Structure formats: C-alpha cells, structure tokens
Structure 1
Amino acid sequence: MRRHLAAAATATAASLTLLLAPGVRAADAAAAANPYERGPAPTRASVEALRGPYAVSQTTVSSLAATGFGGGTIYYPTSTADGTFGAVVISPGFTAYQSSIAWLGPRLASQGFVVFTIDTLTTLDQPDSRGRQLLAALDHLTQRSAVRGRIDAGRLGVMGHSMGGGGTLEAAKSRPSLKAAVPLTGWNTDKTWPEITTPTLVIGADGDTVAPVATHSEPFYESLPGSLDKAYLELNGATHFTPNTSNTTIAKYSIAWLKRFVDDDTRYEQFLCPLPRPDLTIEEYRGSCPLGS
C-alpha cells in the first residue's frame, strides 16, 4: 500500500514539476488541453455584452461572386494572434434579407468566430433550399473567401431565422460534420429530425403566431435523438420576429452553444448546465446535461 502511495506521490510531483518548469505556464497547459479556446475566461457580463474581446472587421461578398447563395457580409476578428477561428453562417427568414439578422454578425464575431450573414437566391426560398445555401456559403467561406486562412474548416456551424431556421435543420441533416446548429423561431413543414447528429439549440418564442412553438420549435426539439446534445430555449414575451433585433438572451445562449460545440470550450458550459431557470426573458428551457457525455 505504501509503495502504491509513494508511486502516486512521485507521479503527481513529476506532473507538478512539468507544469511549473521554467517557461511552462498554467495558461499554456490549458491551451494545449484545448487548442480551440479563444478569448479570456467567460463571465455572465462577457457573454451578455454587446461586444466581446475581439475587434471586428467586415468584408462584402457580392451576389456575382457567390455560387449557390445570394452573397452576404463576413464579420471576422481582426487579430490573427490567436490562430484560426470556427465559422458560422446565418440565413434570414422568408421574404427577408441579411439586414434582418445583421446584428448577430459583429456580436458573434467579437467573441471569436468568423460569421457570414447571407442573402438567399430569392426571398421566397423554402427551408430545403436555404439549407443548401447555408452549406454553399460555408464552402465559400472555407474555400474561396478572402478570410479563408483565418478559418478552421473542421469547426463550422449554422444558424437561421424562420425559414432560415428550418434551413438550419436541413443543413445539419445533410452535413453531419457540422459542430453546432441554432434555429431561431424556425419554420419547416418537416417536424421530425431524428437523423440530426449535430448539437442543436432550438430557440422559440412564446408569442410566435407565424411558427408557433407547439407546431414548430417544440416538435423539432423533441424529435431530435435523445442521445444528442440538445437544448430548447423558449423566449418569454417574444414574437416570431424577436430574432430580427438585438437580443441579449438570444446572443448569450447562442454564444455559449457555439463556444461549447464549435470550439469545444467547456468554460461556457456554466451558462447551459445546470439548465437555466425561467425568468423575465426565458419562458422555458429544456436540455441535456451534462453536455458532451
């Protein structure tokens, strides 16, 4: 027994010596454990802030330069000191343009993502088409865009509002390699999504009369596999069009979800588990905890 204790103590001491060796910092060790962490340790204030720690630049993609989608705007961290970033493409809703979801661009990018808010081929596109366009925009980002060198092509996610939310589910179904999906008050005639293996945060609104949660967001969420990392956030005092204007609750939980699954950054799990309780902005929250198990 003493030999076992002594051996354990020696191994522990050796590990501490390695971590405390000259030139080896705890931060370096943490970075080695997860090379995708970006930005300082999060706080409630930091995930609710209008802007995160990164300065953001933007560039426009003309519809003439786009293949399979309608062009858009790329928002990206200006600094390259931290290496590459995960990327997220966001689709607007039915009859809408990228301007309707533009607020998410700089807000998410400033937290350490490359974000592409897109226009669709027509404003009347259905969810299956929007799903294909989200994927085409991701391919443009990683293969042809001016910022492709800033992106880790293995860490990608999709978001979308309304028809774009339905398209988000379609994209996740079509491309299982996606790391995260966030449909915002999504609309789709398909109510069941057992094929999806991408961690998915479904966001609905209690006052939605266009895509009521009882016939859209709730069945979307409930149909996702039970083994999947998934969550359902129902906004309190909200409508179908709440995602079209700056919203701290949408931003906070979208950031936490994207950080947790696109960046594999477990520092953000504190905002998702234990499950958030109903409050002035949350009508209901369901989800799987712990995440990544």
Structure 2
Amino acid sequence: MSLRSPLSRRALVLAAAVALTAPAAVAQAAENPYERGPAPTTSSIEASRGPFATSQTTVSSLSASGFGGGTIYYPTSTAEGTFGAVAISPGYTAAQSSISWLGPRLASQGFVVFTIDTNSRYDQPSSRGDQLLAALDYLTTRSSVRSRVDPDRLGVMGHSMGGGGALEATKDRPALQASIPLTAWNTTKTWSSVTTPTLIIGAENDSVASVTTHSERFYTGLPSTLDKAYLELEGASHYAPNTSNTTIAKYSISWLKRFIDDDTRYEQFLCPAPRGAAISEYRDTCPHS
C-alpha cells in the first residue's frame, strides 16, 4: 500500500507517536512527512498571512475543461516538498472574486488553492461538485503548478451552492481528504455515504440557507462515525464567507491541516470543541481518528 493512501498515512502517524524516546527532530520527521511550516499557535492561524510567501496564476476558461477557469494561489518555495491542495467554488450567481480572499490566506499556510469560476453562474450544487473535481484534476495533471501538488492530498470547499457542491464532490470522490461547506445550500440533506472528514460552517442569521434546514441537517445527515464538525457563526449572515473572516479562516486552516496533511499539531484547535464570542454553536465527533 502506498504511504500516501489515507489509511497508511494515518497509521504512520500513530506508529510514530509511540516513539517518544527518539530525538525530537527525528521523531517529528518520522511522525508525519507531510507537515509543512512551523508549529502553529493561535496567533499564527488567526493571522491574515501565514509563514509561506505566495504567488498566483490565472487559468483561462478557454484552457479549463469541465469548469469555468479560476485562480491558483501557491507557496513559492518548494524546499519542504509538495503541498496538499483545495479547490473552492463560489455560490449561486457569484464569481470566484466572492471567495478570493481565501486563496492567499490558505496558500500562505502551506496549501495550493484553486478558486474557480463555474461554467454558469446558475449551476446547481451537483454541477458545482463535478466542477470542483474537474478543477482538482486540472490542477494535478495539467496546471503549471502540478509538480507542487501531491495528488493524494486534496480537499474541497465552497460557499452556498458551492458548499452544496463540496458535499456532492465528497460523495462522488471518497478519496478526498477534507471538505468544508460554507453556509451551504443543497436540497439533499442526508449524506450517509460520505467518508471524507467534513467541517460544516453555518451562520446563525442565515436567511438564504437557514441552519435549521441546511447546515445543521447536513451535519446530522453525515455518518455518526465520520470525523465531522459543525461550527455556527454568531450573528452572521449567509454572506459571511464572502469577506475576510478570521473564524472561518482559523478553523478551515486547522481542518485542512489536520486532515489533508494529517498534521496533528492542529488538533489542539479542534478538540476539545472551540468556544468564543464568534461561535454560537459547535458540535464535533472528537477525538478524531
């Protein structure tokens, strides 16, 4: 079995964890070769930029296949090796500009990030899910930064119908390592076949995709045995993910690090359940497997 498969990588983490007598540097390297960047702190994951300098490149809709083009944000240095990657879809009638703030913010923490435009601004969640997967395929096989991406360490995110698309993508491609639907909208509420660790982020005052009919039901509709969490933003609207938001960034970074990179240094920010003035409710299945 390849060391990059989800099961073997997690087994590697657990096996190395018992080697407490080994020198610190050797133990860290053996524990998880996918760690990127220095040990995290609350201030480092709340910062508007992480430790990696970033660049970006535009993907024309003419060269894209199965999605509407977009922008790739990536760490400029390859000294630490390849990076995990995440594709992000905007919501109904929106363009990638509505979620572009996530690009450099996540990339600077050690990810390749692809914010996409959809084929039509009116595409429904199922189509957006297919387009997220098409974007990841493009990123790993055809993009100018494909050599920087580990094709076995991928995730999806999305806002509104794009968040519904993220759920669709995880249903269709179980090999994905992480999913983060943001104030998601989808007519399907039960996701019993999903095996991808999923962080649902809802907004308390969402009048478009209310948490009672969408985000909360998505969370409960995921398998009880799944690594999953539900974070509800205090006093926030449906459009909270469209502007820079420290709470969204902080826990998205932690989730992506924990499950795309198997970086258990970020577990401290997820378990025990986080609390704070910006969070009206948090549910989880801690401890994570």
- The TM-score, its normalising length taken from structure 1, stands at 0.91
The residue number in structure 2 matching 1:54 is: 52
Q: For residues 87-126 of structure 1, what are the structure 2 equivalents within 5 Å?
A: 87-126=85-124
1:202 deviates by 0.2
2:130 aligned to which of 129, 132, 139: 132
The residue number in structure 2 matching 1:8 is: none
Q: For residues 15-26 of structure 1, what are the structure 2 equivalents within 5 Å?
A: 19=22, 26=24
Q: For residues 162-173 of structure 1, what are the structure 2 equivalents within 5 Å?
A: 162-173=160-171
1:129 deviates by 0.1
2:248 aligned to which of 242, 250, 255: 250
Gaps of 5+ in 2: 1-18
1:33 deviates by 1.6
2 CA distance for matches of 1:73 and 1:221? 30
The residue number in structure 1 matching 2:284 is: 287
Identity between Structure 1 and Structure 2 (%): 74
2 CA distance for matches of 1:33 and 1:267? 11
2 CA distance for matches of 1:258 and 1:251? 10
Structure 1 SS opposite 2:62: helix
1 CA distance for matches of 2:29 and 2:97? 36
1:280 deviates by 1.7
Structure 2 SS opposite 1:137: helix
1:266 deviates by 0.3
- The answer to whether residue 182 in structure 2 is matched with residue 184 in structure 1 is yes
1:36 deviates by 0.3
The residue number in structure 2 matching 1:79 is: 77
Rg (Cα) greater in structure? 1
1 CA distance for matches of 2:280 and 2:95? 28
- The answer to whether residue 201 in structure 2 is matched with residue 203 in structure 1 is yes
The residue number in structure 2 matching 1:220 is: 218
2:146 aligned to which of 141, 145, 148: 148
The residue number in structure 1 matching 2:8 is: none
- The TM-score, its normalising length taken from structure 2, stands at 0.92
Cα 1:109/1:15, change in 2 over 3 Å: closer
1:31 deviates by 1.4
- The answer to whether residue 192 in structure 2 is matched with residue 194 in structure 1 is yes
Structure 2 SS opposite 1:63: coil
Structure 1 SS opposite 2:51: coil
1:207 deviates by 0.4
1:29 deviates by 2.8
Gaps of 5+ in 1: 1-13, 21-25
1:28 deviates by 3.4
**Runs of 4+ displaced beyond 6 Å:** none
Deviations 1:91-135 (A, max 9, x none): 000000000000000000000000000000000000000000000
Equivalent position amino acid for 1:225 in 2: P
